[in-house]
């Protein structure tokens, strides 16, 4: 792809958008989100948060849920769900649905999904508590109880009396009931990588803490969303080992390339690969404590990590409400369709491969354009070249050659002089002829 594919003016306009959204809508002076100490009225929530697509943290809105006291007892959880079968996501490192080097080739990243197993809740909870050694054979295995398919209302149905069915002020403001309610039980190893969802999310922490790093949808170019080959972990209970296999047939998943917490060794490399993330405005950050609810607006990019309670568990329930596919969504799609890339912000091997493919396409089109050039009448060449989206070097050289030939044919003497002068200049300055 040509580095000049996007004009400087467009780049500046996009960068201006990041600032303007913060100034006009999100509050530019702080990278913290609003904290409401009591639940908002539906009108206030709609006017101040849903409409402007602005996150907020709400305290004292779920104090009446029995879950807050009951779920601190592991005995209660195991007893209530003694006959429930639940989905467990297993990974070697707590990073499901995230980018991972494929085998030993660290430059080739894949999008890795967890190995998912169904098992009795008491066994599953034990796996979370003893996550780093759940195979019992000394190899790493991190278990995360989660399934984003309304699991709280089916797999965990026996706990449903401990929380409200919905968040009343949110349901009224949004004009609907939740589409899905999910339960999350994890430990400090489980991390959810940057992504966005097409839902209005009310995320309640019951035990432990969750830390969110947030970026608004307008910052989409700072996430370096690229296509990664989809891969799946396979876990063997016998050996306690994970295998990461590419999915067959091969398919690609568009995913955010940025990790807000790279290792010390990765930091320098990431800073040069993802300059828009590191040089742009700081992300918003919020820690959601037990008893608090985060309003995470639709389409916001979020990265989630957790700090467990004294048992080593973090427990949360979230309510996904349908978002409105309105003008904001249309604007977002438009923004996302504008490619913000050049060689200098190439983030990964995949990106380089993509650019290489685009360069190959340039070469192919240059050959085609070159052939088309031959068909043109004299005098039409310049216009033809100017109409090309990326006038390629080969085409320009061909055009020059044609012009020299024409000069040579029409004005044999002056044409000869021009060619001799060019040759002399090239020889003097060591250029190629």
Ligand X SMILES: O=C(O)CCC(=O)C(=O)O
Residues in contact with ligand X by CB under 6 A are: 184, 192, 197, 201, 203, 210, 302, 304, 316, 318
**Residue number, 146 or 369, with CB nearest to ligand X:** 146
**Residue number, 197 or 345, with CB nearest to ligand X:** 197
DSSP assignment of 333-371: HHHHHS----GGG--SHHHHHHHHHHHHHHHHHHHHHHH
**Residue number, 174 or 399, with CB nearest to ligand X:** 174
DSSP bridge partners of 80: none
Instruction: Calculate the alpha carbon distances from 75 to 81, 88, 159, 330 in Å.
Output: 10, 19, 13, 48
**Residue number, 165 or 197, with CB nearest to ligand X:** 197
User: Smallest gap, in angstroms, from Cβ of residue 210 to ligand X?
Assistant: 6
**Residue number, 67 or 392, with CB nearest to ligand X:** 67
**Residue number, 39 or 94, with CB nearest to ligand X:** 94
Backbone angles phi, psi at 207, to 5 degrees: -150, 140
User: Smallest gap, in angstroms, from Cβ of residue 41 to ligand X?
Assistant: 24
Q: Which single residue brings its beta carbon nearest to ligand X? A: 192
User: Smallest gap, in angstroms, from Cβ of residue 389 to ligand X?
Assistant: 39
Among residues 213, 200, 366, the alpha carbon closest in space to that of 288 is found at 213
Other C-beta atoms within 10 Å of 188: how many?
17
User: Smallest gap, in angstroms, from Cβ of residue 305 to ligand X?
Assistant: 8
**Residue number, 112 or 399, with CB nearest to ligand X:** 112
User: Smallest gap, in angstroms, from Cβ of residue 200 to ligand X?
Assistant: 11
- Residue corresponding to tokens 């016998």: 238
Contacts of 96 (CB under 8 A, 6+ apart): 89, 112, 113, 114, 144, 190, 192, 233
**Residue number, 49 or 340, with CB nearest to ligand X:** 49
User: Smallest gap, in angstroms, from Cβ of residue 4 to ligand X?
Assistant: 37
User: Smallest gap, in angstroms, from Cβ of residue 195 to ligand X?
Assistant: 7
**Residue number, 126 or 197, with CB nearest to ligand X:** 197
Burial of 242 from C-beta contacts in 10 A (0-12 / 13-18 / 19+): buried
User: Smallest gap, in angstroms, from Cβ of residue 296 to ligand X?
Assistant: 7
Among residues 318, 295, 321, 322, the alpha carbon closest in space to that of 147 is found at 318
Contacts of 256 (CB under 8 A, 6+ apart): 193, 194, 195, 223, 224, 225, 301
User: Smallest gap, in angstroms, from Cβ of residue 430 to ligand X?
Assistant: 59
Helix (H) or strand (E) holding 264: helix 264-273
How many Å apart are CA 85 and CA 92, to the nearest integer?
22
How many Å apart are CA 329 and CA 325, to the nearest integer?
6
Q: What is the token pair recorded at 289?
A: 């404590």
Asked whether the beta carbons of 366 and 394 are under 8 A apart, the reply is yes
Helix (H) or strand (E) holding 52: none
């Amino acid at each position: 792809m040509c580095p000049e594919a996007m004009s400087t003016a467009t780049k500046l306009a996009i960068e201006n958008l990041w600032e303007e959204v913060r100034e006009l809508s999100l509050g530019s002076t702080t990278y913290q989100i609003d904290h409401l100490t009591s639940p908002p009225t539906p009108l206030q929530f709609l006017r101040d948060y849903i409409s402007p697509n602005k996150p907020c943290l709400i305290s004292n809105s779920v104090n009446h849920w029995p879950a807050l006291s009951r779920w601190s007892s592991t005995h209660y959880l195991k007893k209530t769900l003694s006959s429930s079968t639940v989905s467990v996501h297993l990974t070697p490192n707590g990073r499901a649905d995230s980018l991972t080097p494929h085998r030993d080739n660290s430059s080739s990243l894949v999008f890795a999904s967890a190995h998912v197993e169904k098992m009795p809740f008491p066994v599953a909870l034990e796996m979370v508590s003893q996550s780093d050694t759940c195979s019992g054979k000394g190899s790493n295995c991190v278990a995360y109880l989660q399934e984003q398919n309304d699991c709280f209302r089916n797999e965990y149905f026996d706990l449903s009396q401990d929380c409200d069915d919905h968040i009343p002020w949110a349901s009224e403001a949004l004009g609907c009931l939740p589409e899905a309610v999910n339960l999350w039980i994890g430990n400090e190893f489980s991390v959810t990588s940057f992504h966005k969802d097409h839902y209005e999310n009310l995320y309640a922490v019951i035990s432990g803490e969750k830390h969110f790093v947030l970026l608004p949808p307008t910052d989409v170019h700072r996430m370096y969303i690229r296509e990664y080959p989809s891969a799946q972990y396979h876990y063997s209970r016998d050996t306690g080992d994970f295998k990461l296999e590419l999915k067959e047939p091969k398919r690609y998943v568009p995913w955010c390339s940025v990790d807000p917490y790279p290792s010390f060794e990765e930091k320098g490399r990431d800073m040069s690969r993802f300059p828009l993330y590191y040089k742009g405005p700081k992300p918003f950050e919020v820690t959601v404590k037990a008893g608090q609810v985060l309003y995470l607006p639709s389409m916001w990019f979020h990265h989630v990590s957790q700090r467990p309670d004294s048992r080593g568990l973090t427990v949360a329930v979230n309510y996904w409400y349908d978002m409105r596919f309105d003008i904001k969504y249309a604007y977002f799609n438009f923004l996302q369709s504008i490619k913000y890339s050049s060689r200098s912000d190439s983030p990964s091997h995949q990106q380089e491969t993509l650019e290489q493919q685009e360069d190959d396409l340039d070469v192919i089109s240059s050959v085609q354009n070159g052939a088309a050039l031959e068909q043109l009448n004299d005098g039409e060449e310049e216009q033809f070249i100017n109409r090309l989206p990326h006038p390629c070097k080969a085409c320009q050289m061909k055009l020059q050659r044609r012009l020299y030939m024409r000069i040579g044919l029409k004005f044999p003497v002056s044409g000869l002089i021009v060619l001799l002068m060019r040759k002399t200049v090239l020889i003097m300055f060591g250029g190629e002829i």
